[in-house]
Amino acid sequence: MDKLIHDFSFGLFIWQLLVFVALIFLLKKYAWKPILDAVNAREESIEGALKAAEKAREEMKALQSDNEAILKEAREERERILKEARDMKNKIVAEAKEAASAEADKTVAAAKATIEAEKTAAVTELKKQAATLSIEVAEKVLGQELSDANKQAEMIDKIIDDVKFN
């Protein structure tokens, strides 16, 4: 202890005191304050960024569920529209079919009527021509046959037979 006190250098103590106190204040102004402020600012900004990210994530989640609802709605809408369209199509097709078949029926009926009329006319014509032809044939046959008496008798017999059969 005696040696310690004897070796104590007052000059060194004063120098250390002056230099060290000056160093504290210089470093405070030029180093510690800016460094600690920067570190604090960074820590705050990191915290803020983390909070913002958390918030964004939650917003995203909400947005996603919104999207899903919208999507579901759209899907339903589409289904509905498609169904409507399908119904419409079926109806139109059915109507068209009905109309077509009616038209066809009408056409067929008209055709039938025409055919019938034509047929009747043709038959009438045929009958008329057949009668004419018969008369002509009969005229010619009679013209020939009547010149021969035997043949006349034969003829008359045949006709009588035919009439009998009829």
Partner 1 sequence: MHHNIHSKLSVSLALAGAIIFSVPAFAQDHNHHNDSRAEAAHDTHDHTDSEGGHDVKTQIKETIEHHLADSYEFTITEGVSFPLPVILFDEGLKVFSSSRFHHGESVAEVDGNYYLLYHSKIYKTDASGHLSMDEHHHPTNIMPLDFSITKNVFMILVMAGFMFFLFKAVAKAYQSGQTPKKAGRFLEPIIIYVRDEIAIPNIGEKHYKKYMSYLLTVFFFIWFMNLVGMTPLGINVTGNIAITFCLALITFIITQVSGNKHYWQHILWMPGIPVILKPVMAIIEILGLFIKPFSLMMRLYANMLAGHVVIMSIIGLIFVFGSWLIAPAFFGLTLVLSLLEVLVAALQAYIFTMLTALYFGSAVEDHEHH
Residues lying near partner 1 in the complex (CB under 8 A) are found at 4, 6-17, 19-28, 30-36, 38-39, 41-42, 45
Least Å distance between CB 72 and partner 1? 45
Q: Which residue has the tokens 């008329």?
A: 128
CA gap 17, 11 in Å, rounded: 10
Give the list of residues 6+ apart from residue 145 with CB closer than 8 angstroms, or none: 151, 152, 155
| Shortest CB 28 distance to partner 1, Å | 4
In terms of CB distance, is 27 or 88 closer to partner 1?
27
Residue type, 107: T
Closest to partner 1 by CB, 16 vs 132, is: 16
Nearer to partner 1, 39 or 74 (CB): 39
For partner 1, the closer CB: 16 or 144: 16
- Quote the least distance from Cβ 80 to partner 1, whole Å: 56
CA distance 36 to 28: 10
Q: Measured from the CB of residue 55, what is the shortest distance to partner 1 in angstroms?
A: 21
Dihedral class, residue 84 (left if φ above 0, else alpha if ψ from -120 to 50, else beta): alpha
